[in-house]
């Protein structure tokens, strides 16, 4: 009971602080029609709609994602972007399916394609850092480690998004210095599609579809391969058909596990397999 209450409180806090996909509803234009007049009055251009007038199009209300903590959910994550072409195609698929994901981007690539990162934020996706140039952070001194992440932060800020509070260390490599020095939440994964190795869409599709229980899992993908685009083109609607909500990492932690990401804390294979669901 206390776990469920905690999850609801954290869910409310997350919703209040989220700057994701929920925007203000568009203002509807006024629709002017002819008013009733007495038999003594004569119609004038001010109160009459011309017969050949174009109909006024009322814009659709913006879609607002609503997460149900009681329903299954999975977090898709994409590393190594942004890519000039493939990142945008993945965003198209997410947008068409009203889904969200987390993108762990490389700072040097963010400088090249800032508009992609800005669109990720606009669509309600989560943006994390994947270092500045994809070095193994465990090989760096503490000062060099912080310089690397600061350089990546500068690229994100220049792109118009906040400096990320989530970091995915390249190769998932973490040592004591990385764990205790960044002041960020360290996010790895517990399902690795190895899309970087096979570069084959059907192999990735078959692997994910062959897993019995994806609920509460973080899936590792990469946004720099055409084969990954084609895989998620199939997998995103398929996952939704199976009843999974596609959420960001922070949403998964809050709604599914009942925690918010903490600085200098690792959320990875061990956490996702051993930490209980808030409903248990």
In this structure, what token pair is assigned to residue 152?
């990546």
Give the Å distances, CA to CA, from 29 to 32, 46, 105: 9, 17, 40
222 is catalytic: yes
Pairing of strands 126-129, 73-79: unpaired
Q: Who contacts 244 (Cβ-Cβ below 8 Å, separation ≥6)?
A: 72, 73, 74, 214, 215
79 is catalytic: yes
3-state secondary structure (DSSP) of residue 46: coil
In this structure, what token pair is assigned to residue 208?
């994910």
47/196 Cα distance (integer angstroms): 65
- Structure letter (DSSP) for residue 166: E
Q: Where are the beta strands (DSSP E) in the chain?
A: 73-79, 102-105, 126-129, 166-167, 185-187, 191-192, 218-222, 245-247, 265-267
The Cβ-side half-sphere exposure at 94, using a 13 Å CA radius, reads 31
User: Of the listed 80, 148, 195, 222, which one is catalytic?
Assistant: 222
User: Of the listed 79, 80, 153, 195, which one is catalytic?
Assistant: 79
- Structure letter (DSSP) for residue 79: E
Active site residues: 79, 222
């Amino acid at each position: 009971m206390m776990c469920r209450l905690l999850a609801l409180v954290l869910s409310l806090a997350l919703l209040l602080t989220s700057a994701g996909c929920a925007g203000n509803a568009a203002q509807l234009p006024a629709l002017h029609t002819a008013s009733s007049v007495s038999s003594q009055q004569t119609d004038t251009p001010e109160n009459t709609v011309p017969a050949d007038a174009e109909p006024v199009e009322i814009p659709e209300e913006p879609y607002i994602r609503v997460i149900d903590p009681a329903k299954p959910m999975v977090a898709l994550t994409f590393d190594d972007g942004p890519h000039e072409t493939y990142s945008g195609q993945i965003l198209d698929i997410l947008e068409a399916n009203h889904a969200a994901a987390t993108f762990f981007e490389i700072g040097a690539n963010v400088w090249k394609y800032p508009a992609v990162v800005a669109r990720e934020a606009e669509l309600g996706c989560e943006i994390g850092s994947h270092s500045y140039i994809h070095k193994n952070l465990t090989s760096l001194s503490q000062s060099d480690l912080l310089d690397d992440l600061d350089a990546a932060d500068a690229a994100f800020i220049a792109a118009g998004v906040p400096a990320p509070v989530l970091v995915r260390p390249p190769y998932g490599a973490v040592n004591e210095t990385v764990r205790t020095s960044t002041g960020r939440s360290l996010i790895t994964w517990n399902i690795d599609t190895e899309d970087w190795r096979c570069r084959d869409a059907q192999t990735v599709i078959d692997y994910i579809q062959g897993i019995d229980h994806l609920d509460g899992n973080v899936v590792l993908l990469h946004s720099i391969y055409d084969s990954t685009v084609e895989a998620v083109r199939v997998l995103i609607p398929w996952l939704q058909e199976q009843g999974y909500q596609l959420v960001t990492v922070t949403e998964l932690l809050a709604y599914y596990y009942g925690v918010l990401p903490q600085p200098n804390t690792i959320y990875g294979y061990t956490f996702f397999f051993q930490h209980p669901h808030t409903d248990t």
